[in-house]
Structure 1
């Protein structure tokens, strides 16, 4: 398990590197403490007994303002990047404990004036939940089966400037902890909150760069993706099941900010053998549990990073217990002009199936 989460952690660092390595001019740096007041969403009936009160959390952010030395920074109205440390009390110290996370993020301003900003922030990294499920010592914790998890943080905020160095913000956020079905149970922890923050800039603010030169327009790219993962199932007695996926995708750019992507997936999920047997359906060979599907994704392009949100439908699947549709969320980061790193989460609606960690190759670029 440590190797798996080390790989995920390295991908988070690669995400941060891809967002920041081109930011070589002088930047404005700020420190931002933020407090949250929220609750755990009881998205399953078996969770309500664990919710004892409201969740109080604190985060400390290291915030860096981009200045437009790359075209994508100007395209997105000069976003900021940073690293966030999060710690929250889950209001149930005996069964849930606390949740802690460290993750890089990007913050996009939809409105950016001298006195006011309206921002959207998204990031992901590594999280830690102090109390997990145990068959004898903590059997009522039906939410999380592992201490180490992924953390995903989203935030919508209004930011007001009080002086050259001091800003205040009011926002709503959603923080999610999950292990991607690596270890059961894995219902996940979803924490919506209202929050207040103070942003203090260190040093003088540098000037934005405005470059009016045109850039090469992209038409479409074709990718091959190969990835793998590991999962547990509720009937699998803590056994780890390997998974594989091979995909071909065509990304059609609508603008420099991204576009739509369509493709075909071929899945191998070794847990399906046991799932089918649980329902008295038996197979003759492993080829019978191979699944295929067609997917459609919306892709946001931020420099070398592609952030994707997608949905697919199974074309071939002997196992019907997950329904017709599957979903995918995550990112792909370009290493060079041909190769990329893939880290996505395959789900069935809001239920995680498994992480897909692997590589991609650009076959065609037009």
Structure 2
């Protein structure tokens, strides 16, 4: 993913099942108890990204996510979580395209590469497979006060300290809201595989792959 446009698709269909006289109806599904409706996950993921597709170097990305979920039924759950993100793109590496800058970063510091957010998750559960979307808000974002990019030679612009939620132009900066589309598969009793894409509105930030522990 880069800073290009990502298109979401919606589709529909129908299903026809011919009558089978030997069909035996399944027993009525029993909803889990109140205690069994709660679950949790810890997932560690990683990947890499470029800032611009013509850049000659990729930078590492990673995240750790901790979430708690409430199962409203066998096929649906909602949850709250905490995310920690690492994005190596926030540096002054000369391999980065100078014509596609979104931040005024002049140093290579770990503190600029770490973000923390809280998210609200909405998932569909089909057997061992889970798919869903998360909406998150950054509670720690050292980059927001370095965006958008300002030409150092332009002395007519200055920066103002940004709060938790603020107005922004997605074409120029990431902003305070992030989303994540995730697909997970339980490969063992407590072990899950994860693939997800993190975006800021319609602009992708990175794709990540990971493993997690479910409890």
TM-score normalised by length of structure 2 = 0.70
Q: 1:207 to 1:350 in 2, by over 3 A?
A: farther
Map of 2:165 onto structure 1: none
Match of 1:231 among 19, 38, 49: 49
Aligned to 1:272, what secondary structure does the other structure show? coil
Residue 242 of structure 1 pairs with residue 98 of structure 2 = no
Given the alignment of the two structures, is residue 207 of structure 1 paired with residue 23 of structure 2, yes or no? yes
Q: Deviations over 1:222-248 (max 9, x none)?
A: 211100011111287232111010111
The aligned counterpart of 1:338 is 190
* Matched residue count: 176
Deviations 1:147-189 (A, max 9, x none): xxxxx9752024578xx59xxxxxxxxxxxxxxxxxxxxxxxx
Structure 1 CA distance, aligned partners of 2:45 and 2:211? 6
Partner of 1:268: 86
Alignment partner for residue 176 of structure 2, among 324, 332, 343? 324
Residues 1:280 and 2:96 are matched in the alignment: no
Distance between the aligned counterparts of 2:22 and 2:11, measured in 1?
Answer: 25
**1:315 shift after superposition:** 1.0
1:306 to 1:287, Cα distance in 2 relative to 1, 3 A: same
**What does residue 213 of structure 2 align with?**
361
Check 1:303–1:240 CA distance in 2 against 1; reply closer, same or farther (3 A cut).
same
Partner-residue secondary structure (3-state), 2:112: helix
Cα distance change, pair 219–349 in 1 and its aligned pair in 2 (3 A): same
Secondary structure of 1:273's counterpart equals: coil
Runs of 4+ with >6 A deviation: none
| Equivalent residue number for residue 290 of structure 1 | 114
Q: Deviations over 1:248-268 (max 9, x none)?
A: 110111222222111111111
Distance 1:284 1:266 in 2: 19
Q: Which has the higher contact order (CA 8 A, sep 6+)?
A: 2
3-state SS of the aligned residue for 2:138?
A: strand
1:208–1:230 distance in 2 versus 1, CA, 3 Å:
farther
Secondary structure in structure 2 of the residue aligned to 1:360: strand
Question: CA separation of 1:231/1:284 partners in 2, compared to 1, >3 Å: closer, same or farther?
Answer: closer
- Give the match's secondary structure for 1:287: helix
Answer whether contact 2:45 2:211 (CA < 8 A) is retained: yes
Deviation string 1:10-62 (CA, Å, 9 cap, x unpaired) is: xxxxxxxxxxxxxxxxxxxxxxxxxxxxxxxxxx9xxxxxxxxxxxxxxxxxx
Structure 1 residue 216, shift from structure 2 partner: 3.8
Map of 1:259 onto structure 2: 77
Cα-to-partner distance string for 1:301-341 (whole Å, 9 max, x where unaligned):
11111111111011111222201110011211111221100
Structure 1 or 2: larger strand share? 1
2:91 aligned counterpart, secondary structure: helix
Q: Which runs of 5+ in 2 are unaligned?
A: 145-172
Unaligned runs of 5+ in 1: 1-43, 45-141, 145-151, 166-203
> Quick check: 1:300 aligned with 2:118?
no
More helix by share: 1
Summarize deviations over 1:61-94 as a string: whole Å, max 9, x none.
Answer: xxxxxxxxxxxxxxxxxxxxxxxxxxxxxxxxxx
Alignment RMSD:
3.2
Following superposition of structure 1 onto structure 2, how do residues 11-22 of structure 1 map, counting pairs within 5 Å? none
Alpha-carbon distance in structure 2 between the residues aligned to 1:205 and 1:351: 52
Aligned equivalents of 1:245, 1:288: Cα separation in 2: 15
TM-score by length of 1: 0.43
Aligned match for 2:138, one of 310, 314, 317 = 314
